[in-house]
């Protein structure tokens, strides 16, 4: 599945204590608004007429939760499926909905058995099951004694009166029926609007273990087979599957009603999780690339308006790029990409029938912004990468899921930067992939590749679809390509793909093919076998930090961990075999290796000259952090002030990110990190400024910082350094914002820079926001540049009066406003500085005629995060608790209340909150809240100590 930009990408980060957890809860709460739908209250459409659906009246019970990992016995090997699916759905029909089907599975018996065990979840039998064979004996059959369903184990057991004999082939014949729900898993139904008309479609999502909910099957990735698929559907729909349709005919049901039968060509050998079905009333656009017919399907309105043209234009070139670089042809004659209005993953790589969320494929024809195109290019490129890594060669079992997702995530960036060359590959890869996962990986106790034995029992496969699998997998691949050279790495991948085409592999198979390529040449010499090097990265938790002593030239490695939370019983004895790219005084040096816990490198001993400096892990070629001694850090800080471009941009980013992460985890004091910010007046890279600002002014702490003595010092220190880059971009905003359409990082990060300048009270920023907001007020057709719209609306209201607020309210309620703008305005209206406006806004939030209930909690949360708003929000909550709790229960409101935790600094404040909780919550809930508040208090006390240190440093350095 896809990535952060697409796919079933569910980052699961270990919960942090205190305010960090409270922030996560608040963010989750804000996300609920998007999850549950638009905030503006809309009347529900009347239910459609309900003609009697043919087929079974009683639908089976719902399937158990996904993620069961019971393995099948190895008695039978599937060779081929003949599968018929019949969703009993007519346009405009009301539910409940069901589907029926028949599957005939040709199997080879590997060991004698008197039972056939296969996966089945939430399905009921339809008709009698049968077993034909052995096929070498015409007319032969094995009598079925019974069919038993084990719902907990998600298996069906065909109990036989005879035995299946090893070496013989048989056909298992099973009829089945299932429920067609709107849950976005297995075979599902979804409703949408197209050209003003309400419509329905049917689609599938099988990964990881949902195929068994659609048809009885051997639902394991290594049990590959070929498929003949036939879909029976309403004549007004078109049916799509993995292969091209080869026949379309009609059939009548038991009531004499006509249905269409679409039959598809025999598939290639593939895993069950890649089977795919879409039954819809969509239009498509098409082009052919090297004989591969590419069609992109979407709502008729979207196709007519050209929303999928960009996706069509890049899909073929990315296909060709991947074919050429991997030297392995795409084996299918056609590829369909379908944009669903509602889909549980950003994208899914089904062979020949990829399925996406609409937002992952659609671009407005007039929208030239690189950031929007980049997102589409990344999602498409990721799923196309899977056509080789995942579809052609599939991991043996889910423990090596990174072979699918990590490699696809790596090629996602190569493919996207190929079709959008304005993107800087190294900058975007480090900022979007490596840096975020380094932050996460230090807190998650799991390795990239787990043993098969570990993934069993109650282990949830869904938890493997996380940032470790995707981004750490991609980062390790990036490092591997770097020390091998891309030429050797690609040569090894080609060998691996050709060896295991239409089959399965584990990570040792990949290491073997890399070793073969390394052994066949003399240019690249490794300090150990490939398996030994790479297992140290994939089979251990976390990653190393390298500590460099320049006086002795010694580098020491240890696992990067939070020293502030370390217990005496904790053990961190992992060591890695680490490639070290480095430079000295601006000159690149030969790659070297650290293959033990500590090692001396005489070539890294420096002289007494202040201009003799060392930089490790140049351009973040390795997956680790670097902790320099004070001598080198002072020299690097001086270098940055005198000549920042002497250090590559990605390495400047890495230096700052590393030192703040080292501070957070107790390796270095905050003063050390701040020394590296002195040079920032000469920094012109937005992605570097972004990491600085996120560390110095986290968004969840803005309101707290505003009321602290550090604020005026930060204001003077940062504005002095921000002015050059601020004025550079403000000039574009005032004169020609369209000129930034090719500047990807401006579109992604300029908002944070501008918001910080306004937060720090820079008058020009406040004036700019006021000017642009007034321009919009005077002419509602005017569009505030989208890349700064959120900040402009917020501060346009903040420096204005009730007139500005009322205009935002009017535009929010405008029938033509799009959801993205609604979200911006929903936030902006909480930026008002007049307490009465905030209170009125909260009162509006209570009205079920103005907002849906999920919006009420979002409004409260927005207000609670503002420096003057948290007291107002708290008073509002306590005064209106009966109404709020009646409106949508305790759960959502709890998150709003927890957001107050960031302001808790004393026991008295905890007691004040506790009085309210004691009167409203159950005892077990009160205990949880008390623990959170205590944790938040400790976090806030620690933060106060930190801010005192920052303030002291700023006072000494503010005029440097």
Annotated catalytic sites, by residue? 383, 470
Dihedrals phi, psi of 881, to nearest 5 degrees: -55, -45
Taking 3-state DSSP, the helix, strand and coil percentages for the chain, each rounded to the nearest 5, stand at 45, 20, 35
DSSP letter assigned to residue 265: P
- Return d(Cα 353, Cα 813) in angstroms, integer: 39
Could you tell me if 65 and 144 are in contact, meaning their C-beta atoms sit under 8 angstroms apart? no
Round to whole Å and give the CA distance between 427 and 440.
Answer: 19
Residue found under tokens 């230090």: 442
**Rounded CA gap, 828 and 670, in Å?**
33
Contacts of 721 (CB under 8 A, 6+ apart): 677, 680, 681, 683
3-class state of residue 162 by DSSP: strand
Q: Which residue has the tokens 């696992």?
A: 559
Question: How many CA atoms are closer than 13 Å to the CA of 807, on its beta-carbon side?
Answer: 17
CB atoms within 10 A of CB 193: 12
Distance in Å from the first CA to the final CA of the chain: 50
The backbone torsions φ and ψ at residue 239, rounded to the nearest 5 degrees and listed phi first, read -110, 140
Closest CA to 269 of 80, 46, 521: 80
> What are the helix (H) ranges across 307-369?
309-326, 358-361
Bridge partners, residue 175, by sequence: 102
Q: Name the phi and psi angles at 170, rounded to 5.
A: -140, 165
Let me know the angle formed at the C-alpha of 262 by 260 and 263, rounded to the nearest 5 degrees: 145
Burial of residue 51 (CB within 10 Å: 0-12, 13-18, 19+) is exposed
Count of alpha carbons within 13 angstroms of residue 68, beta-carbon side: 21
> How wide is the angle at C-alpha 341 spanned by C-alphas 339 and 342, nearest 5°?
110
* Distance in angstroms (rounded) separating the CA atoms of residues 358 and 449: 32
Q: Does residue 130 come out as left (phi exceeding 0), alpha (psi in the -120 to 50 range) or beta?
A: beta
CA dist 951 and 960 (Å) reads 15
| 917-938 residues labelled b (16+ CB within 10 A) or e (exposed) | beebbeeeeeeebeebbbbbbe
* Distances, alpha carbon 336 to alpha carbons 193, 275, 339, 493, in Å: 22, 13, 10, 26
Where do runs of H (alpha helix) occur along 327-401? 358-361, 370-386
Q: Are 115 and 160 in contact (CB under 8 A)?
A: yes
| CA nearest neighbour of 389 among 277, 470, 487, 480 | 470
Q: In what order do the strands lie in the sheet with 544-549?
A: 598-600, 554-559, 544-549, 625-628
DSSP state of 197: E
Q: Which helix (H) or strand (E) holds 871?
A: helix 869-879
In eight-state DSSP terms, residue 500 is S
CA dihedral 257→260→266→272, nearest 10 degrees, is -70
Q: How many helices (H) and strands (E) does the chain have?
A: 30, 30
863 membership: H or E segment, kind and range: helix 853-864
């Amino acid at each position: 599945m896809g990535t952060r930009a697409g796919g079933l990408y569910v980052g699961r980060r270990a919960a942090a204590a205190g305010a960090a957890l409270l922030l996560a809860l608040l963010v989750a709460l804000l996300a609920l608004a998007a999850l549950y739908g638009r905030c503006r209250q809309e009347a529900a459409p009347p239910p459609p007429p309900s003609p009697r659906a043919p087929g079974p009246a009683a639908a089976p019970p719902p399937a158990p939760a996904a993620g069961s990992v019971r393995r099948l016995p190895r008695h039978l090997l599937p060779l081929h499926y003949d599968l018929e699916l019949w969703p009993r759905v007519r346009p405009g029909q009301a539910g409940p909905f069901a589907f029926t089907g028949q599957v005939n599975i040709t199997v080879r018996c590997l060991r004698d058995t008197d039972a056939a065990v296969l996966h089945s979840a939430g399905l009921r039998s339809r008709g009698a099951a049968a077993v034909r064979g052995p096929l070498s004996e015409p007319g032969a059959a094995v009598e079925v004694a019974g069919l038993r369903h084990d719902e907990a184990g998600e298996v069906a057991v065909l109990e036989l009166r005879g035995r299946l004999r090893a070496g013989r082939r048989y056909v298992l014949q099973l009829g089945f029926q299932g429920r067609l729900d709107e849950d976005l898993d297995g075979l599902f139904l979804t409703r949408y609007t197209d050209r003003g008309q309400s419509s329905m479609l049917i689609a599938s999502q099988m990964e990881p273990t949902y195929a068994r909910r659609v048809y009885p099957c051997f639902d394991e990735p290594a049990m590959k087979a070929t498929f003949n698929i036939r879909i029976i559907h309403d004549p007004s729909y078109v049916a799509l599957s993995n292969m091209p349709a080869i026949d379309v005919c009609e059939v009548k049901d038991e009531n004499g009603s006509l249905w269409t039968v679409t039959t598809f060509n025999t598939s290639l050998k593939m895993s069950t999780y890649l089977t795919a079905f879409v039954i819809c009333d969509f239009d498509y656009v098409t082009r052919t690339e090297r004989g591969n017919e590419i069609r992109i399907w979407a709502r008729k309105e979207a196709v007519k308006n050209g929303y999928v043209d960009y996706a069509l234009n890049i899909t073929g070139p990315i296909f060709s790029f991947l074919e050429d670089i991997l030297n392995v042809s795409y084996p299918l004659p056609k590829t369909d990409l379908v944009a669903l209005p509602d889909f549980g993953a950003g994208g899914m790589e089904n062979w020949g029938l990829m399925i996406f969320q609409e937002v992952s494929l659609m671009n407005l024809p007039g929208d030239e912004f690189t950031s929007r195109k980049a997102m589409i290019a990344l999602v498409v490129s990721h799923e196309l990468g899977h056509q080789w890594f995942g579809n052609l060669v599939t991991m043996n079992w889910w423990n090596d899921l990174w072979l699918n997702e990590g490699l696809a995530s790596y090629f996602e960036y190569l493919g996207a930067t190929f079709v959008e060359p304005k993107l800087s590959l190294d900058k975007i890869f480090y900022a979007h992939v490596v840096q975020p996962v380094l932050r996460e990986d230090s807190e998650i106790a799991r390795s990239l590749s787990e043993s098969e034995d570990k993934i069993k029992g109650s282990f949830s496969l869904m938890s493997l679809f996380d940032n470790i699998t995707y981004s750490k997998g991609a980062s390790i691949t990036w490092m591997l390509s770097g020390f091998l050279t891309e030429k050797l790495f690609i040569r090894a991948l080609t060998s691996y793909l050709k060896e295991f085409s239409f089959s399965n592999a584990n990570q040792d198979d990949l290491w073997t093919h890399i070793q073969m390529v390394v052994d066949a040449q003399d240019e690249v010499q490794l300090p150990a076998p490939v398996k030994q090097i790479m297992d140290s990265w994939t089979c251990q938790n976390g990653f190393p930090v390298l500590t460099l002593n320049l006086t002795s030239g010694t580098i020491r490695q240890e696992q990067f961990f939070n020293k502030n939370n370390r217990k005496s019983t904790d053990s961190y004895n992992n060591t890695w075999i680490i490639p070290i790219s480095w430079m000295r005084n601006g000159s690149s040096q030969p790659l070297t290796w650290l293959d033990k816990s500590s090692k001396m490198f005489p070539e890294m001993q420096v002289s007494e000259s202040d201009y003799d400096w060392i930089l490790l892990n140049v351009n973040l070629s390795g997956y680790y952090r670097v902790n320099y001694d004070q001598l080198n850090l002072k020299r690097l800080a001086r270098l940055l002030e005198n000549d920042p471009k002497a250090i590559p941009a990605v390495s400047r980013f890495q230096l700052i990110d590393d030192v703040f992460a080292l501070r957070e985890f107790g390796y270095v004091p905050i003063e050390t990190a701040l020394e590296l910010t002195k040079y920032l007046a000469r920094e012109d890279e937005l992605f570097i400024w972004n990491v600085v600002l996120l560390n110095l002014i986290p968004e969840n702490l803005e309101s707290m910082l505003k009321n602290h003595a550090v604020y005026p010092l930060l204001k003077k220190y940062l504005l002095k350094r921000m002015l050059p880059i601020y004025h550079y971009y403000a000039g574009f905003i005032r004169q020609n914002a369209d000129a930034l359409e090719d500047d990807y990082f401006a579109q992604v990060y300029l908002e944070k820079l501008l918001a910080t300048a306004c937060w720090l009270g820079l008058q020009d920023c406040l004036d700019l926001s006021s000017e642009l907001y007034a321009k919009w007020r005077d002419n509602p057709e005017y569009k505030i540049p989208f890349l700064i719209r959120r900040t402009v609306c917020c501060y346009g209201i903040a420096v204005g009066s009730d007139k500005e607020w009322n205009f935002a309210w009017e535009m929010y309620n405008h029938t033509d406003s799009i959801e993205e703008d609604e979200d911006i305005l929903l936030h902006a209206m909480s930026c008002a500085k007049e307490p009465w406006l905030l209170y009125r806004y909260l009162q509006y939030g209570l009205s079920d005629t103005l907002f849906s209930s999920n919006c009420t909690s979002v409004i409260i949360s927005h207000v609670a995060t503002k420096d003057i708003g948290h007291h107002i929000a708290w008073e509002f909550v306590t005064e209106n608790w009966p109404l709020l709790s009646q409106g949508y229960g305790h759960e959502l409101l709890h998150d709003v209340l927890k957001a107050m935790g960031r302001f808790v600094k004393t026991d008295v404040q905890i007691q004040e909150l506790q009085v309210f909780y004691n009167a409203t919550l159950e005892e077990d809930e009160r205990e949880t809240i008390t623990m959170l508040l205590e944790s938040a208090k400790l976090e806030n006390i620690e933060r106060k100590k930190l801010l005192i240190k920052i303030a002291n440093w700023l006072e000494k350095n503010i005029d440097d």
